[in-house]
Amino acid sequence: MEQLRTLIEECRDPEGFTRLKGMVGVERWASAGGGRARRALTRIMVAKGGGLADITVGDVIEYDTERRRTAHGVNAGGTLYYAWLRELGHLPGDAPTTLRFLDKVTGQLTCAQLVDRHPSLPRGSGPCSSTTWKNAAPAWTTPPWTTSPGT
């Protein structure tokens, strides 16, 4: 597998991998973690085509999701490859900083979820609990932002 990875690095994107090697250093490049990161990058390139600069955030998330699904709870390579892609500057500025907690994020929390997870109050109690919010009726019958001024 290492020979195939090296062949892909040399044939698909030699300039990209040379630049990456210079950025991360020879020791890190040759380490076990470095080898797993390089293998992840070459796998994405083989599956999606192109070179390092062509790897998108979507490609990475797709690869990481599948890797986690098939790893059966074992860390099968980590996310060093993603940190390297960020260092290279190929990912947009609004890309996630890390993939480490991506599988634990379920989207934006509601106000009630934010309040209920706050440690200062027992869950579901107090004047700011989600239960209180759900039972409270708004003071208006029509939201103020739906009427025009002067009506």
Q: What would you report as the CA-atom Rg of the chain, rounded to the nearest whole angstrom?
A: 24
Which pLDDT does position 2 carry in this prediction? 75
Same domain, residue pair 43 and 99? yes
Same domain, residue pair 6 and 49? yes
Q: Decide if 44 contacts 55 (C-beta within 8 A).
A: yes
Q: Is the pLDDT of residue 63 over 70?
A: yes
Which of 68, 61, 48 shows the shortest CA–CA distance to 8? 48
- What confidence tier does 97 reach under pLDDT thresholds 50, 70, 90? confident
The pTM score is 0.63
Give the structural domain span for 123: 111-139
Buried/exposed 26-65: b ≥16 CB within 10 Å, e otherwise: eeebeeeebebbbbbbbbbbeeeeebbeebbbebbeebbe
Which pLDDT does position 1 carry in this prediction? 65
Same domain, residue pair 71 and 115? no
Query: pLDDT higher for 26 or 140?
Result: 26
- What confidence tier does 44 reach under pLDDT thresholds 50, 70, 90? very high
Give 3: exposed, middle or buried? Use CB within 10 Å, 0-12, 13-18, 19+.
exposed
Which pLDDT does position 93 carry in this prediction? 83
Q: If you average pLDDT over residues 12-22, what whole number do you get? A: 92
Same domain, residue pair 71 and 12? yes
Same domain, residue pair 7 and 76? yes
- What confidence tier does 104 reach under pLDDT thresholds 50, 70, 90? low
Establish if 146 belongs to a structural domain: no
Establish if 82 belongs to a structural domain: yes
Establish if 145 belongs to a structural domain: no
CA 106, CA 145: separation in Å to the nearest integer?
Answer: 30
